[in-house]
Structures are given as structure tokens and as C-alpha cells.
Structure 1
């Protein structure tokens, strides 16, 4: 318990960069959920790009990716402004940091490879749906490998720099992503359920037409 207390004492809340980083972490999933849901309801991005849903999705993907780079830059800057704890400078901690970074990036890259750009960046909100559920690695380990992989990368960076503030920001990342999952998963499931109902209805109409012939 004393080590935990020491780690907390090494979080400098007087640093403005800490709160800017926390705000950027919370902003990103909030932004893409609001924009994607509005697109699903109104198709405003698709209309903006001349009715081309795929181009609109790629534009949102580029925006999300750019915001991610800015978020990561602000996080690194926040870490540099924070004090380092001696206990986090041990070799085993560094090894754990590299392992977390390796596995985290593996999860993110492999899930992007599995889903493709539109599958990764909310293409289903644009009406670009996948044929079926992806079950291969890393989705056979977790249903949200990008979120958990990103969280591992945040923690890996915090340990690599030896910054207790980074651990606290990583907890913030995890909470933000868990909240995002609670909003995204049911909404996405509803989109695919609607697609399945429409397919079943169309198949039923086809059968009835054949009977009439």
C-alpha cells in the first residue's frame, strides 16, 4: 500500500499537460461516436462526399487517425512533464513495458488487418457492412482488441518512461474505452440485426414469388 501511495504522490496535478492529455483521450471516442451515429441517421457525410459512402468513411477514418496521432503526442508530452518514480526504472518494469507495447500494437495492427479500413473505422454506420462476424485472431481473444491493445500501449509507454501519471492516464483510457464499448456494441449489433431482418424478408419474398410461378 505504501508503494501505491508513493506512486500517487508522484503524479503532478499542477501540470496543465496532464489534463490536456486526459481531455484528448476522452474527446476522441466521444467525437467518432457522435459523428458516426449522426451519419447513420442522416447520411450527412455521405451526402457531403457526393453520395459515396466509402469515400465518406475513408475521410472519417483519416480524421480519427489524425486525432489519434494528436492524442498520442499530447500523452507523450504529458509524460515528459511528470516526475519519474525510481521503482518504475527497474529492468523488469522495462521488459514489461516492451511486452505491453508489442502485444498492444499486435492487437491493433492485426485487428485492422482483419477488418480493413471500413470495418475498423465504423463503416457499418455508413451502411458498409461485413458479410459475417470476424472470429480469427485477435477477435478470438477479445471482442475489442483495438481498444484493449491501445490501452496496453498506453500502459507500456507509462512504464517505459517510469511515470506514475501515465498509469493514472491509462486507467482513464480504460474507463473511456469501456464506456465507448457500452455504446458501440449494442448499436452495431442493432445495425446488423436490421440487415439480417431485411435479408430474411427479401428471401421470403423470393420464395413466395417462386411459388406463384
Structure 2
């Protein structure tokens, strides 16, 4: 069986008449879009900091919101899969083993990156003015610069294979595209935040040197 034919057959097992499929796709796209918009507004206006009284409280509020939206997204994804046809080729032990391996690896990437960054580093604390002292370069950031996104994508794919649902594979591709787009917006913006901090540090250090010379 050629690859194009096989892919066509997989798509044939996707029921596009199920509304839950599109609700899940919308939730997947909504989450990173929403938190990037909110976080950027916080960075520029500090509206969350003013509302909650401190930058740390604002970050924790973002963390609760992002985590809750993630749980809802996962619920909608699982619900969408349950309404979809199962492909016979995906119902075999090798696929099941691959599914568990993907789930394990994905969760390791997500959990270890959260451990390295902490709550504020994980949940956009830098947009709230809570910057880390230095860049994290240990595992899993020595493997990829976006371990949470790639780990989450692996978990989506693992779940799709575990359920044996081609629709899940399609949604996983959607997840990957959404995250790749998010990375293109997030990484340069975050780098700019830290570049600004370093510029301010250098300026402050230069001012101190000039002050010492005058003394």
C-alpha cells in the first residue's frame, strides 16, 4: 500500500460531521492565542498587576487560567476522540506500546521543564516583570527550546494512537501547527524582554562606573 493511499484511508476514518471535532480544534487554537494576547497586554499595561495587587499574584492568576484552559482543552479532545471511528490498523500491541512511549516521553518533557522553570517561569512570569536570573540550559532545554509544546504534542499523538483514532492524528497535526506558530511569536518577544533587561543592567553598570570616576 502506497503512503498516499494509506493517508487517504486514514482520512476516510475521520468523521467531519461530528461537531465535537471542530470544538476541540477551536479549543486547541484558542489557548495559546488567548494567553499570548493577555500576557502581552499585561507586559505593556500591567493591567493584571494593578488588578491583583502585585506582579506575582498576576502571574499566579495567569497560571490558574492557563492550567484550567488546558484541562478543558484536554477534556474536549478526549470527548472528540470518543465520537470518532477507530481504525483497525491502529488496534494492535505495537501501536499501543508506541502510544504509551509517546505519553511517557511527552509528560517527561512537560514536567521536567516545569520543574526547571518553576511556576513563574512556566506561566509567563516574564511578561509580568518576573524575570529569571539566567537562561535555563539543562534538561529538557538542552534537547529543544520548547519542551512544553513538543511534549504536549507528543501526548496528543500518544492519546490518539491509544484510542486508535485517525481524527486524533489529524488534531495532533493541528496542535503542532498551532504551537509552531505560537513559538514564532513568543520566542522573539521573550528574547526582547530579556534583551531590554540586559540593556538596562549595562546602562546602570555604566552609570555606576562613571560615578566612581567622579569620586
TM range (shorter): over 0.9
Which of these residues, 140, 152, 155, is aligned with residue 150 of structure 1? 152
* Residue 196 (str. 1) matches residue 180 (str. 2): no
Deviation, structure 1 residue 90: 1.1
CA–CA distance in structure 2, aligned partners of residues 143 and 132 of structure 1: 15
CA–CA distance in structure 2, aligned partners of residues 79 and 39 of structure 1: 35
Deviations 1:44-88 (A, max 9, x none): 0000012x1001100110000000000000000000000000000
CA–CA distance in structure 2, aligned partners of residues 89 and 116 of structure 1: 38
* Residue 19 (str. 1) matches residue 4 (str. 2): no
Deviation, structure 1 residue 148: 0.1
Query: What does residue 45 of structure 2 align with?
Result: 42
Aligned pairs, number: 212
Query: What does residue 10 of structure 2 align with?
Result: 7
- How do residues 58-207 of structure 1 correspond to structure 2 at under 5 angstroms? 58-207=60-209
Deviation, structure 1 residue 102: 0.1
CA–CA distance in structure 1, aligned partners of residues 157 and 194 of structure 2: 33
TM-score by length of 2: 0.98
CA–CA distance in structure 2, aligned partners of residues 176 and 127 of structure 1: 26
CA–CA distance in structure 1, aligned partners of residues 91 and 135 of structure 2: 42
Deviations 1:21-51 (A, max 9, x none): 000000000000000000000000000012x
TM-score by length of 1: 0.99
CA–CA distance in structure 2, aligned partners of residues 39 and 55 of structure 1: 12
Gap runs ≥5 in structure 2: none
Gap runs ≥5 in structure 1: none
**Runs (4+) of structure 1 moved beyond 6 Å?**
none
CA–CA distance in structure 2, aligned partners of residues 25 and 192 of structure 1: 28
Deviations 1:74-118 (A, max 9, x none): 000000000000000111000000000000000000000000000
Deviation, structure 1 residue 3: 1.9
Give the aligned CA root-mean-square deviation in angstroms.
Answer: 0.5
